[in-house]
Chain A
């Protein structure tokens, strides 16, 4: 089944404790992207990747890192999480940036 998977789905952590949210797609898509969604603000793009080893900042990249060493994986790294990074995170992928995007199920992160 074609899909985008994220892990974990739910995470509660403390300020400053490094964490990684994994994202994987099995559709051989070149484009992948991370978003956060907060009430009243809608979806905001954090980072995106046009292909392996090609990443760029979205609108809200501060406090996040990404890497794209393999085509199928695009992990989101929070080196030192802070409470303002409490949010619902979505990973998405598409064949190319102009094509339909497929979203993962979301990761709900709480930083205390």
Chain B
């Protein structure tokens, strides 16, 4: 079973609106949790990296939050732009005592921003 689950699978939003993507994980504790943005046919690009003890991390209009109690992370996109249309991937990096070097990927949320 995948240890990282993302929801929704896809969503469509109007340009200028905000949206929130969810990531639920079972790996706990972990080294860090990352959010990537992947444009179609291209390699993923890192948006944020949070350690297990961090609650929030921002990168421009992208804000990631982490709740270790509920084992959830969210990525909030503010004032969406057409260029935000992409797949957003949640990734968990395991601890040194637990397959150090392995990364667990979510299946991604496909976001489409419409004019």
Contacts and interface: CB of A to CB of B under 8 A. Distances in A.
Interface stretch (A12-20, A35-43, A65-73, A76-84): A35-43
B14 interface: no
For the residues of B in contact with A, the DSSP-based class is loop
Nearest to A49: B101
For the residues of A in contact with B, the DSSP-based class is strand
Contacts of A102: 46
Interface of A: 4, 31, 33, 35, 40-45, 48, 50, 56, 58-59, 88, 90, 92, 97-106
20 contacts: A33-B101, A35-B105, A41-B107, A42-B89, A42-B107, A43-B105, A45-B102, A45-B105, A48-B102, A56-B102, A58-B103, A59-B102, A90-B44, A97-B101, A98-B31, A98-B32, A101-B34, A103-B43, A106-B41, A106-B43
